[in-house]
């Protein structure tokens, strides 16, 4: 230490005292280094000084004449904002211009140095100190609005600070030490349960990666989001009125928070579903089933009643016209939807809801059909009641009409093709009894007797000939063949039985609800169901009338209908007990032909759909492939649940798909070249080579749908 330093260290520090100087003797110094405006306005600061006085003195320097004598006026290099706030009070006549202002007078050094030192040496208040100060004021009886008014902030900010101050003291200490950052502390504040907060911290403290959204998810994993269909169905108000607790996050968009009492929510859902089901049952339906959701394909095997929607009444039509006119007028001045003011946007939403209610009027059904049909009541994705009316179970179908009785005096044909005599009522033919030809007279067929039905065997033989001829003729009429195939598919798609067609073609649509949850609400399922409903409404309810209806369709309409019927027969599901390689290969070819895009179909890799159900190695492989090695390396140290959640966020907009959802490209090298000419006599072994080149051995193809036997008479005719 130098001698100068020792002298400086041994010199006693003396502080300048304060002096009260009239405000009109002060002027703002140009030496003040602060040039950028502060976030707190001068008006707010003036109000604060008026309420609580000047908490910090101004630092001033005397202004001297050229000869060094004081002029009695002082410049203010430190405290410029406070000076401007006092000036505002004088201008508003809330303070006199001669009011004394406490000042500290400096007369050595540079004014700029004083101003810079005052700002550089200042340490901002730690947020935790602010949180605790707000808490003390709240406990002293000040309301959130009072605190907000005193510090010129919004009540929401005060509530956020108070929520942070209520976090576990242990976590607050970690925040004060810098172990936790503010965003993490905000995530912990989603629940008031200190024990649960500390449990989550213990679970996360072993690793270095503790993102706020993971903290929120772990704290709310046993709760139900307010956006869940069940919560929206019941309503937050009804849930809270029943005593349910809602956790709300004051720091992020939580869409209403989380419902903590899941048992109470389930009870309220069941009660409301039961109420709606009873109201629907009162319409006269034979049965009503109610559930939160039904698996996709739950109506397979049931006949759907034809629906008729009553036309709008004059009053309803007038209401609709008025609503449309009002909406057009509201939207006329706003070319872009996002430009709508809040009140206009709210009214447009009300009009859209009213128009939707008019368009979705309940369908009407025949009373006798209602008595044998039923209804499914569930909850849709928007939390509204989904009511599906008009489905008939097979056991509730009316009995088929009995065959017409034979005319009096006529007997059924015998197995050998002759006509037998009528038997007495209740009598049974004797075993080994002689048939009618053995007992008949030489000329047993008088011409004057009424005609009897043809023998069964003869009818079989004749229709076998007709079947073969009809096959040959149909092959020469492709347009009619197309219509016949479409007719058969329509019968199996829209009716329970396909007996009204002579083609042995059935379009089977297997249920998929058990294979994967959430299928019913997918984009593809909704599109398929809407298309099915539209065709149900267009086609006749009686299978015998379908052929005529198809003849009346245009070619484009027939093609659309065929595509719909064929689409419902697709089955590309891979099951461990039913692996059919040929089916998978054809599904790939079909996907390439239609340009299948599973991302456009709405599938995303989430914790529920994929990431939470595969090992960590596959999660990392997915992130590595879609995002890169660096992103994957950051997840290596995470636990399985955290890794899946982080991966979901990383993969959200990448379009990544797991292999079962990808459409493989065609291997051009595997496609055999088509020869320019075909030799009449193939070389020996060529046929075997062609068979060996098939991608899938013949024995692996599913032949379960091919009948093993053919009608004897038809076989004989062929």
For residue 62, pLDDT beyond 50: yes
Residue 623 has a pLDDT of: 93
Phi, psi of 708, rounded to the nearest 5 degrees: -85, -20
Tens of pLDDT along 75-90?
988 888 889 899 999 9
Phi, psi of 7, rounded to the nearest 5 degrees: -65, -40
Residue 157 has a pLDDT of: 81
DSSP calls for 251-264: SS--TT-EE--HHH
Residue 713 has a pLDDT of: 38
Tens of pLDDT along 118-134?
666 565 667 777 888 88
Confidence grade of residue 371 (pLDDT, cut at 50, 70, 90): very high
End-to-end CA distance of the chain: 121
Which residue shows structure tokens 């054809």? 586
Dihedral over alpha carbons 446, 448, 452, 456 (to 10 degrees): 40
In this structure, what DSSP letter does residue 414 have?
A: P
pLDDT higher for 145 or 464?
A: 145
Residue 684 has a pLDDT of: 41
Residue 577 has a pLDDT of: 60
For residue 498, pLDDT beyond 60: no
Confidence grade of residue 523 (pLDDT, cut at 50, 70, 90): confident
pLDDT higher for 622 or 213?
A: 622
pLDDT higher for 550 or 403?
A: 550
The whole-number average pLDDT for the span 659-678 is 65
CA distance 425 to 668: 75
Phi-psi region for residue 450, left (φ > 0), alpha (ψ -120 to 50) or beta? beta
CA distance 29 to 77: 5
Tens of pLDDT along 269-326?
999 999 999 999 999 999 999 998 887 778 877 888 887 777 888 888 899 899 999 8
Q: Which domains does the chain have, with CATH numbers?
A: 15-120 (3.90.1530.10), 127-265 (1.10.10), 278-396 (no CATH), 459-571 (no CATH), 595-664 (no CATH)
For residue 518, pLDDT beyond 80: no
For residue 210, pLDDT beyond 80: no
Residue 665 has a pLDDT of: 80
CA distance 656 to 426: 74
- The answer to whether the CB of 74 falls within 8 A of the CB of 63 is yes
**Closest of 462, 468, 371 to residue 417, by C-alpha:** 462
Residue 444 has a pLDDT of: 57
Neighbours of 47 (CB within 10 A): 18
Which run of H or of E encompasses 486? Answer: helix 478-494
Tens of pLDDT along 635-661?
888 888 888 888 999 998 899 988 888
Residue 604 has a pLDDT of: 87
CA distance 175 to 172: 5
**Closest of 97, 49, 104, 116 to residue 74, by C-alpha:** 104
Burial tier of 643 (Cβ tally within 10 Å: 0-12, 13-18, 19+) = buried
Residue 219 has a pLDDT of: 82
Residue 373 has a pLDDT of: 94
For residue 686, pLDDT beyond 50: no
Dihedral over alpha carbons 180, 185, 191, 194 (to 10 degrees): 40
Residue 402 has a pLDDT of: 58
Residue 706 has a pLDDT of: 35
Residue 74 has a pLDDT of: 93
Tens of pLDDT along 556-612?
888 888 888 877 777 777 766 666 667 677 778 778 877 888 888 888 888 888 898
Please state whether beta strands 100-105 and 374-379 pair in parallel, antiparallel, or not at all (unpaired): unpaired
Burial tier of 531 (Cβ tally within 10 Å: 0-12, 13-18, 19+) = middle
Residue 683 has a pLDDT of: 44
Tens of pLDDT along 254-264?
567 888 888 89
CA distance 203 to 186: 18
SS3 state of residue 108: coil
Tens of pLDDT along 99-112?
999 998 887 777 66
- Paired strand residues for 304: 391
All residues at 6 or more sequence positions from 140 whose CB lies less than 8 Å from its CB, including other chains: none
Residue 103 has a pLDDT of: 92
């Amino acid at each position: 230490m130098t001698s100068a330093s020792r002298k400086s260290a041994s010199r006693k520090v003396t502080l300048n005292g304060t002096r009260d100087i009239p405000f009109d003797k002060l002027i703002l110094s140009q030496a003040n280094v602060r040039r950028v405006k502060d976030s707190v306005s001068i008006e707010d600061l003036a109000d604060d000084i008026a309420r609580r006085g000047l908490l910090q003195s101004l630092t001033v320097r005397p202004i001297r004449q050229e000869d060094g004598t004081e002029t009695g006026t002082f410049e203010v290099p430190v405290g410029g904002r406070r000076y401007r706030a006092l000036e505002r009070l004088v201008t508003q006549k809330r303070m006199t211009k001669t009011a004394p202002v406490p000042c500290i007078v400096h007369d050595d050094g540079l004014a700029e140095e004083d101003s810079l030192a005052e700002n550089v040496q200042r340490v901002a208040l730690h947020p935790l100190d602010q949180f605790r100060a707000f808490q003390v004021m709240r406990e002293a009886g000040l309301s959130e609005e009072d605190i907000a008014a005193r510090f010129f902030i919004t009540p929401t900010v005060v509530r956020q600070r108070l929520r942070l101050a209520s976090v576990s003291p242990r976590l607050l200490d970690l925040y004060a030490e810098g172990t936790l950052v503010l965003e993490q502390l905000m995530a912990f504040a989603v629940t008031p349960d200190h024990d649960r907060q500390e449990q989550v911290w213990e679970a996360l403290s072993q690793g270095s990666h503790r993102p706020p959204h993971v903290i929120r998810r772990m704290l709310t994993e046993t709760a139900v989001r307010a956006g869940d269909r069940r919560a929206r169905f019941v309503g937050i108000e009804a849930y809270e009125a029943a005593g349910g607790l809602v956790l709300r996050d004051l720091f992020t968009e939580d869409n209403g928070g989380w419902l903590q009492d899941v048992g109470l929510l389930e009870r309220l859902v069941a009660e409301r579903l039961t109420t709606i089901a009873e109201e629907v049952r009162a319409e006269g339906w034979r049965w009503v089933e109610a559930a939160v959701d039904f698996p996709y394909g739950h109506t397979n095997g049931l006949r759907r009643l034809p629906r008729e929607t009553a036309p709008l009444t004059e009053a309803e039509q007038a209401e609709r016209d008025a609503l449309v006119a009002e909406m057009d007028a509201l939207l006329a001045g706003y070319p872009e939807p996002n430009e709508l003011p809040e009140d206009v946007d709210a009214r447009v939403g009300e009009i859209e809801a009213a128009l939707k209610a008019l368009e979705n009027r309940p369908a009407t059904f025949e009373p006798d059909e209602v008595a044998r049909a039923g209804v499914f009541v569930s909850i849709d994705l928007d939390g509204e009641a989904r009511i599906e009316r008009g489905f008939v179970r097979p056991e509730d179908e009316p009995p088929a009409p009995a065959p017409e009785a034979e005319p009096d005096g006529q007997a059924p044909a015998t197995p050998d093709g002759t006509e037998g005599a009528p038997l007495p009522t209740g009598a049974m033919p004797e075993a080994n009894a002689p048939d009618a030809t053995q007992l008949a007279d030489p000329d047993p067929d008088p011409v004057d007797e009424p005609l009897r039905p043809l023998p069964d065997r003869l009818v079989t033989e004749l229709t076998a000939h007709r079947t073969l001829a009809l096959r040959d003729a149909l092959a020469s009429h492709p347009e009619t063949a197309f219509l016949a195939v479409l007719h058969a598919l329509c019968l199996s798609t829209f009716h329970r039985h396909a007996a009204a067609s002579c083609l042995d073609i059935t379009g089977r649509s297997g249920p998929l609800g058990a294979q994967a949850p959430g299928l019913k609400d997918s984009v593809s399922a909704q599109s398929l169901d809407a298309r099915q409903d539209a065709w149900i409404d267009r086609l006749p309810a009686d299978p015998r009338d379908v052929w005529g209806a198809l003849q009346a369709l245009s070619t484009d309409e027939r093609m659309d209908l065929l595509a719909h019927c064929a689409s419902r027969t697709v089955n590309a599901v891979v099951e461990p007990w039913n692996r059919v390689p040929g089916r998978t290969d054809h599904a790939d070819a079909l996907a390439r032909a239609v340009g299948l895009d599973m991302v456009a179909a709405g599938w995303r890799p989430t914790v529920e759909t994929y990431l939470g159900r595969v090992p960590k190695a596959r999660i990392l492989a997915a992130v590595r492939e879609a995002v890169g090695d660096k992103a994957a390396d950051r997840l290596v140290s995470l636990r399985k649940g955290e890794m899946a959640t982080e991966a979901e966020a990383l993969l959200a907009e990448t379009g990544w798909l797991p292999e079962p959802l990808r459409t493989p490209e065609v291997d051009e090298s595997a496609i055999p070249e088509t020869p320019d000419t075909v030799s009449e006599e193939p070389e020996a072994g060529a046929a075997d080579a062609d068979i060996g080149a098939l991608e899938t051995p013949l024995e692996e193809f599913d032949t379960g749908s091919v009948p093993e036997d053919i009608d004897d008479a038809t076989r004989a005719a062929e």
